Every structure is written in C-alpha cells, then in structure tokens.
Structure 1
Amino acid sequence: MLNQIVMNRVSKMNLTTLKYFISVASLGSITEVAKEAYVSQSAVSKTIKQLEEEIGVELFDREGRTIKLNQQGKFLCF
C-alpha cells in the first residue's frame, strides 16, 4: 500500500528533482551533484528535502555530512 502511495506522488514530480535524486543516490554526495549541475549545494539539498516532504518518506539516511540511500530511497530509485 505504501509503495502505491509513494509511486502516485512521484509521478507528479519534475525532471530536475528526479535528476538530483538519482544523482545523489548514485554519487552519495550532495556537494558533487551540485558541482556537476553548476548549482549551489543548498539548492540540491533543498530540492531533495522538498521531494521527501512531498512524498512523505525520507529517502536518505543522514549522519553528519554523509548521506546514504535508505530502503525507501532504494525502492524509488531502482
């Protein structure tokens, strides 16, 4: 049931948001994604946080300066 709710909400997102999500999931670094996209680190971070708020699920585990895809994020990404 949760999977269906998440997928319904994801279908309404824009491509930039999904690009940032997939890039952070792949690289494991908001800083690296920001550099590659020529945007600020805070822009990527805010976009990821808005995505999580929009779908109501945390997609990454954050600990200090590290970010790692969690089980919900893996479901969405792969």
Structure 2
Amino acid sequence: MSASIHPAAASAQAAEYLPPMTYADFEAALQLVASDRQHRVMVPFLVSGLRKQAPFMNGQAMMLEILSSAACLADLPMRPRAAA
C-alpha cells in the first residue's frame, strides 16, 4: 500500500522545508553563479569537498557552506560579521 500525503499536509510541508537538491543540481547552480572560467574550474572541487564534509555538518552549517561557496564563486564582496 502506497502512502499518500493529504494536499493540505503537503502544502504545509512545502512551506516549511526547502525542496530536495542533489549534488549534481548544486554543482549546476554553482556553474551558473561562477563569475569567470577560473571560478567555474573550482566548482567540482568545492562540491566534492562539501560532499565529504556533509556527514559531519548540521543543516545550518551546510547552508552556510553552500551560500559561502556561491558568494565566493560569484566574486561577491564579503563583509565581516558585526561583533555581538
């Protein structure tokens, strides 16, 4: 018997969680974000490194790594964190 999700439950779940993404999806997205050829060459290495670190990271740490990788590849200026 296959389990089905009630439409209202699916809607609530969709509002709560990010859609699933594979490492191939992540790599393709980083290729689009990369600002030049040298940055595009680094993408597979960044994805490989993140994949190796993933078992030791929680969701928030993983998202920070994803966003930091994208910012570096896009050559965005990085601002230091304000002191608390």
TM-score (norm 1): 0.28
Which structure has the larger Rg? 2
Q: Answer 1 or 2: which has greater strand percent.
A: 1
TM-score (norm 2): 0.26
